[in-house]
Amino acid sequence: MHQDEPLVEARIARLVRDRVDPAVHRRSAPVMIEAWEVPGEPVPFDTAVRETYEPFTVGSSWGGRPWGTTWFRVTGTVPSDFGTAPGTTAELFVDLGFTKRHPGFQAEGLAFRPDGSTIKAVEPRNNAVPLAVGPGEPFELYVEAGANPDIGGDSFQGATPLGSRSTAGDRPIYRLRALEVVERDDTVWELQQDLWVLRGLMAELPTDGTRGADILRALERAADALDPDDVPGTAADARAALAPALAVPASAAAHRAVAVGHAHIDSAWLWPVRETKRKCARTFSNVLDLMDRDPDFTFACSSAQQYAWIRDEYPEIFGRIKQRVAEGRWIPVGGMWVESDTNLPGGEALARQFVAGKRFFLEEFGVDTPEAWLPDSFGYSGALPQIVRAAGSKWFVTQKPSWNETNVIPHTSFHWEGIDGSRVLTHLPPADTYNSDVSPADLHRGERNNKERGTANTSMLLYGFGDGGGGPTREMVGAAHRQHDLDGSPRVTLGTPAQVFEQIEQDLPTPGVWSGEMYLEFHRGTYTSQIRTKQGNRRSEHLLREAELWAATAAVRLGAEYPYAELEQAWHTVLLQQFHDILPGSSIAWVYENAEAEYARVAEVLEGLIGTATTALAAGGTAGADATGAAAGAPGTVVRFNAAPVAAGDATALGGSLGVAPRPVPPVRSGDGFVFDTGVVTATIDAAGHVVSLVDRASGRDAVAPGAAAAEYTVFRDTPNQWEAWDIDRAYQRNGTVLTASSVAVNGDTLVVERSFGSSTLTTRYSAVEGEPELTVETEVDWHEHQKLLKLAFPIDLLAPTASSEIQFGHIDRPTHQNTSWDHARFETSAHRWVHVAEPGFGVAVANDSTYGHDITRETRADGGTTTLVRESLLRGPTFPDPDADQGHHVFRTVLRVGASVLDAADSGYRLNLPVRSVEGSAPVAPLVTVSSPQVFVEAVKLAEDRSGDVVVRLYEGLGGRASDVAVDFGFDDASVTVVDLLERPVGASWDAGTPVSLTLRPFELVTVRVRRA
């Protein structure tokens, strides 16, 4: 037989393009269109329906300007002969001016009934609206259309003004292309789906295989049966020709894909938060419409924040969601407030993501989500498994590691082990997407990529338009049904995440283990981009800690009212900003305009709460000995409040002490340079403004590498290959400019160094405090550079095989060498308040108040010694998606400390980020809680979430070793003490009133205790 496969395939392709696709709609009829352009921000239906509408014609521009909104009122009558023939349906067809580029990244709409209930969304690849009337009957509906610009374009690169209302311009960007009643030929549509699945399957099969050849000939027979001049009349014949090929069952050994409807909706990204609310309404309406039409369809949806928006702004949709949750087809997943970043949020904040999210799901739906759900976050902290387990969950889903540039995680289903030894069963959906269209290509990719194949042959397929929302379509569900049991394809079952994990638990009783962080070998710039938002997050986290601590102390000591509502709202605001495209710095300008305003509002509220509580405590707090042993009631006019879990001078941890502030040490000129001598360390700054020596007085050892300069600033080129705000490429290291000083001068107790680069200026202020082993480096920058990376370097004279970097509730040790491809790819890393490098007996900490990105390497010098280089990434200047990212004024504070252990580093990190507050008053305030071990840090002191008045204390082991027989004492009478989970439910030991509380913590263990007050 002559081989003519390419010719047959070309014939089929043209037949589908030119005949089948156009024949889905048999005919159309006009409708009456009226429009009202919203003058400002979007308004609810109840407002829009009362406005005056003007006649509108297809082809006219709408929206007014980018980000504008137009409401369309659509009225008409279904023609009496539409939908009367068997296998036809009348529906509304809407084209708002869509491009073929991306679904969910451009214009979108939501159709409403006249009573204000939603029907479904109108989107680029899902633009049909069902009509609930028959032939000859009138209808009326409203479409809210959002003129959202397509920020990403074709390449997701290049500066654009469209990311902010203030720069997007006033020219309309969309024209209404179609709004009409159409008669859909259901048989042609079904043929279209048959052809799509079989053509896709054929493309995945061997070109010389029998099954592929059978499909090709079935397609050829269908083409013969289909009259191109009468597609509607012969579509059934073509389907009959394809039926045998679609009826061949799958092999009993076929891979099983559990298809879970999904819509990964970014809580902000290339659109602001206000638009995300509408995206949720559109997507959820789509899902509910599909559920009404297909009883097998299931949908998994995360992010309590998004549900809360719908509850508050679209109660009708929320009510329908609750009904579907109750019947088990709509599955709340993840248990977090938002799908947050996991590298940057602090420990308590990451815990609160689960506290807030799981509380919402329990209270609103009665659902305790068993899985954490983060398909798209930019790397996964080694602390996360313990936090997941502490929240009462046991499974974890992500997909993002498939984006790694260099290495591939060697598992699909495995135990992920955290830094404390906690494990969660983890699944990486092997189709490598959370936006599948249920194509044969996705299904076969999932089968090929399943690394446990032969042992665990079940995987999860997340399908539905995501990122910008939209969710599953009827075409995707149709494809799933066709591939449920189809030879040559994995078996597809519409199901739930739990079904996947339960099957994996059966198939893999002893799964492989991945230990520590899942570092994403990509998007390394997200540790640094949009530094104002990162600083706002860091400051807000610590203000929340202070507000809760002092409010709880005032409630216990003075009977003051605890500000539950204000604290919860502040937490919800901060948790939202930790979403994985907000805090990492990868969103449009509008998002950061909002974020900075929100952080300012949160700071104002929390400073007020802190001021109220500390003022009351300082005036009448319960007396007690302070950290220096001063007697209760000692004379003084200032109480020094220290919210850190470590003492700060004479300010006791977690309490208020009488005393004086530490005395600054002024710089003294020495030769061509200057010296700070704290009595513990001696720091020398040369005439160029660099730290050339930091000598530990006790050992005589110099921390700064010989011949090197610490506190050195370098500006590097920063032009990554793609994903500009997201990425830092290794090539940056080859092109850097070291900044030189223009002046060095003493100003009071500080040494001030001035530098400049391009259009930017940089001021460094050195300072030190008597009795401390630290030098403080304050960096003030007026930054006006684009596509540049500013780093601050500290070359340390020691051989550190690893660097310890603080993460949530502990730290992680990363190699400073590059022995393996995994080490080589980890050239930029994240850390929280400190990093520490050491060799036995001597170490150095670099602590910060708002920096996350670091690179830490080592090299051998000509003298045979080793220099370990610690560099902080201070600033970038990406131009996409925000062309003005990082521009303007910034201040950073860094502490360089000689300290042998990571506990020294933690001490500096806490004190730098939680500076002591001096409040007028004379009453010292004893801490509500003290612990006997320096390894154990108290991370939160608050009142219980259930508003019972119980005191909740969260603590963790911070050294990385066992802490035995740790006494935990409370500065008030207790009725009982119980070990609880993050949701404050009993999970462990308990103690009766007056019984000493003693804990033994494994390395990095997180423990929460709940204290019922007597």
The rounded distance, in Å, linking the Cα atoms of 818 and 745 is 41
Which of the residues 376, 626, 884, 981 is marked catalytic? 376
The C-alpha torsion from 194 through 195 and 198 to 199, rounded to 10°, is: -160
Give the whole-angstrom CA distance, residue 494 versus residue 478.
11
Q: Is 863 a catalytic residue?
A: no
Considering only CA atoms, which of 618, 630, 696 is closest in space to residue 904? 696
Q: 471, 465, 342: which is closest to 398 by C-alpha?
A: 342
Which single residue is written with the structure tokens 């759900």? Answer: 373
- Mutual orientation of helices 304-313 and 273-293 as an angle, nearest 10°? 90
Measured CA distances, 88 to 25, 187, 227, 238, 858 (Å)? 9, 8, 19, 17, 71
Q: What is the DSSP letter of 31?
A: -
Q: Which helix or strand (DSSP H or E) is residue 592 part of?
A: helix 589-620
Q: Given the DSSP bridges, would you call strands 741-747 and 888-898 parallel, antiparallel or unpaired?
A: unpaired
* 17: region left, alpha or beta (phi > 0 left; psi from -120 to 50 alpha): alpha
Token pair for residue 38?
A: 């919203």
Sign of CA dihedral 23, 24, 29, 32: negative
Which residue type is seen at 786?
H
Write b or e for each residue in 946-956: b if 16 or more Cβ atoms lie within 10 A of its Cβ, otherwise e.
Answer: eeeebbbbbbb
Please list the residues that pair with 69 across neighbouring strands.
Answer: 146
3-class SS at 989? strand
Q: Give residue 479's identity as a one-letter amino acid code.
A: A
Paired tokens of 980: 């609880």
Phi, psi of 59 (to 5 degrees): 100, -15
Q: In terms of residues, how long is the chain? A: 1014
CA-based nearest residue to 72, from 92, 59, 56, 58 = 56
Rg of the Cα atoms in the chain: 31
Alpha-carbon torsion 149, 289, 310, 33, what sign?
Answer: positive
β pairing state of 929-931 and 655-658: unpaired
- And the tokens for 887? 């521009």
Distances (CA, A) of 891 to 86, 763, 764, 779, 988: 71, 9, 10, 6, 44
Say how far apart CA 681 and CA 703 lie, in whole Å: 10
Distance separating alpha carbons of residues 70 and 388, to the nearest angstrom: 43
The DSSP bridge pattern shows strands 413-417 and 513-515 to be: parallel
User: Measured between alpha carbons, how far apart are the two ends of the chain, in Å?
Assistant: 92
Q: How far apart are CA 67 and CA 62, in angstroms?
A: 11
**Which of 183, 23, 185 has its CA nearest to residue 90?**
183
**The residue to which tokens 């500096």 are assigned:** 908
Alpha carbons 754 and 778: distance in angstroms, whole number: 12
Closest by CA to 483, choosing from 288, 204, 87, is: 204
In this structure, how many other beta carbons lie within 10 angstroms of the beta carbon of residue 792?
25
Q: Which residues are catalytic?
A: 376
